[in-house]
Structure 1
């Protein structure tokens, strides 16, 4: 393997690693912030902050408006993943502990594997199935180890399940948009769509 080929391969694993780390820390942060903010207000605050940063990056990089062909995927992922997923997760974490929430939401990658095979025709290669099984087993172990002694609320588990489903559908619907627009455009405008979806929660500060 040449050095140039190696340089081209490392950004994707690095980005995935950073994403997993930040996503994992969010479960604990949401649990803490949920004591002071309603699920919708918390989602709106997170999305508004993300939108500000992403819009700044768009302006600095002079990245333009996404092509029309990318908008169905951007809008769908913005509503489902950035919007519904975040509110459902915030609400669910008020009812269950962070470990249980992480375990249930990590059904998402399993659903993504199945949905991408059906909707995107990506197939189910054996390494992908093994990786999905290992990842979900790890989430179950973590969830079982950190679950509260009082047991999980049925409502909380159902809300986390809604979060997992909307996350999975949003991710799968987002992927076709990447054929027409850059990752920055898809992420930034999806976040903006999610912010607009959560605007009705403005002012719902407390529990």
Structure 2
């Protein structure tokens, strides 16, 4: 559980790091550099993973390439540009809806049963998103509305990636697929935005490089390894509950590290989103809450 908790904190601080980095720097260059740092971290581990011994069919290659486009490129571009226009706490609350999108897409695509906890959880979480949007003034500010929409789109894209990557992970393993999708998503960004990457690398100060390094290594390598280790020791449903603290970490990180303000509406909206996520868990607690409703 400690490993899962640290992974959740690393992921919850991602909007905070992104918000800090995109102020005054080229977003696409920052994405490429950050992903490149994460990609390099996987290289020394290749001999121990049997990655070079894998044999891919054309269909599997197409599938992993599609996952790289959706989960690495599209997700990061949408999330990064969105965080430019909204505070880290709001971004964290919107990104926290990822488990709901994964569950709903599993119902639609994989024909998994639609449980009452999931349905109620989605309704409550959506009410929290509306509260954040309207009460926080997002719905009345074109720039903030665009940013929030892009962050929410990023959460949806991660849901698409998570559902699509499932068969590949079961076939080749989480570590291998994480490495390959990260490499395939990073390479085109480095090629297309090479000039911007070079210019941004020259402009970044020491603090910027430290944040980029911690973000790249923490989110893409350490967080993933800790999460997988945690899931090998505790039930996934129990571990998944800790992900509900994602927006709390983002809000606290935004306040402490970026000096962002928090109004009562934001706190209420985040609380409603978290409650919706807890409610969506198909366990005894959520079923009891649904029956009471």
Alignment TM-score > 0.5, same fold? yes
1:202 and 2:194 matched:
yes
1:170 and 2:158 matched:
no
TM-score, structure 1 length as denominator? 0.76
CA contact (8 A) 2:95 2:151 kept: yes
Report matched runs for 1:56-95 at 5 Å: 56-68=44-56, 70-95=60-85
Quote the offset at 1:109 in angstroms. 2.0
Higher helix residue share: 2
Aligned to 2:254: none
Aligned to 1:98: 88
Structure 1 gap segments, 5+ residues each: 1-12
CA contact (8 A) 1:72 1:177 kept: no
Question: Which SS does the other structure have where 2:34 is aligned?
Answer: helix
Q: 1:161 aligns with which of 152, 160, 180?
A: 152
Quote the offset at 1:128 in angstroms. 5.2
Distance 1:88 1:80 in 2: 10
Judging changes above 3 Å, is the alpha-carbon distance between structure 1 residues 15 and 68 closer, same or farther for their aligned structure 2 residues? farther
Deviates more, 1:147-156 or 1:188-197: 147-156
1:28 and 2:28 matched:
no
CA RMSD across the alignment: 3.1
Aligned to 1:181: 172
Deviates more, 1:149-158 or 1:81-90: 149-158
Deviations 1:146-205 (A, max 9, x none): x68996612212221321221111111111111210111110001001102322123323
Question: Which SS does the other structure have where 1:203 is aligned?
Answer: helix
Judging changes above 3 Å, is the alpha-carbon distance between structure 1 residues 66 and 168 closer, same or farther for their aligned structure 2 residues? farther
1:17 and 2:9 matched:
no
Quote the offset at 1:22 in angstroms. 1.1
Distance 1:43 1:119 in 2: 30
1:41 and 2:29 matched:
yes
Q: Which of the pair has more CA radius of gyration?
A: 2
CA contact (8 A) 1:51 1:188 kept: yes
